[in-house]
Amino acid sequence: MGELKIPIKNEYDIVSARQAVRELSRELGFGTVDQVRIATAVSELVRNVVLYAGHGLMIVQTLKSNGNTGIEIVIEDQGPGIGDPDLALCDGFSTSGGLGAGLPGARRLMDFFDVNTTCGRGTKILTRKWLK
Ligand SMILES: Nc1ncnc2c1ncn2[C@@H]1O[C@H](COP(=O)(O)OP(=O)(O)OP(=O)(O)O)[C@@H](O)[C@H]1O
Ligand SMILES: [Mg+2]
């Protein structure tokens, strides 16, 4: 299975990104609850791209390793970057008057979560979930 690229241009793409990962995770065999977990994490990450960076890209692919199956999602933008990523992953931290629940919530919903960001250059989040 190849990779799926979904450009993030505006808030309507939050819905398309959400639907695309939900569908792929269902095809891979994830149960309803995990499908919703993955889709919810993606919604938050894509929403952040739209809000803070304006636009970006989501790349989704299937993982196969030692008989395990997973889904890998990369969400990247060339926006302002996150000043302090450790702080941004704390519950309640927001620079926009939001709840500050998006990033920490998305991290909890997934199995692996890596934030790579450089001030002034952008943000790349790589996240994975494995089928149990
Ligand atoms: N792609 C991004 N580019 C730049 N800054 C970001 C990005 N994603 C998150 N941030 C920063 O990290 C902070 C925390 O993000 P998080 O999604 O947890 O909360 P929020 O967006 O402020 O509120 P909400 O709970 O509504 O999502 C944001 O306030 C913002 O400063
Ligand atoms: Mg957010």
pLDDT in tens, 23-68: 999 999 999 999 999 999 999 999 999 999 999 999 999 999 999 9
Q: For ligand 1, is residue 80 a contact (CB within 6 Å)?
A: yes
Please provide the average confidence, as pLDDT, over all residues in the chain: 97
Q: What is the pLDDT of residue 30?
A: 98
For the cut 70, the answer to whether the pLDDT of residue 77 exceeds it is: yes
Q: For ligand 1, is residue 98 a contact (CB within 6 Å)?
A: yes
Domains identified in the chain and CATH numbers = 4-130 (3.30.565.10)
Confidence of residue 2 (pLDDT cuts 50, 70, 90): confident
Which ligand is located closest to the Cα atom of residue 47? 2
CA 2 to chain centre: 18
Q: Output the CA 110–ligand 1 centroid distance in Å.
A: 17
Q: What is the pLDDT of residue 119?
A: 96
Angle at the Cα of 6 (from 106 to 99), degrees rounded to 5? 30
Confidence of residue 1 (pLDDT cuts 50, 70, 90): low
Of 8, 47, 25, which is closest to residue 110 (Cα–Cα)? 25
Q: For ligand 1, is residue 79 a contact (CB within 6 Å)?
A: yes
The encoded tokens of residue 128 equal 């994975």
List all residues 6 or more positions away from 118 whose beta carbon is below 8 Å from its beta carbon: 81
CB 50 within 8 A of CB 11: yes
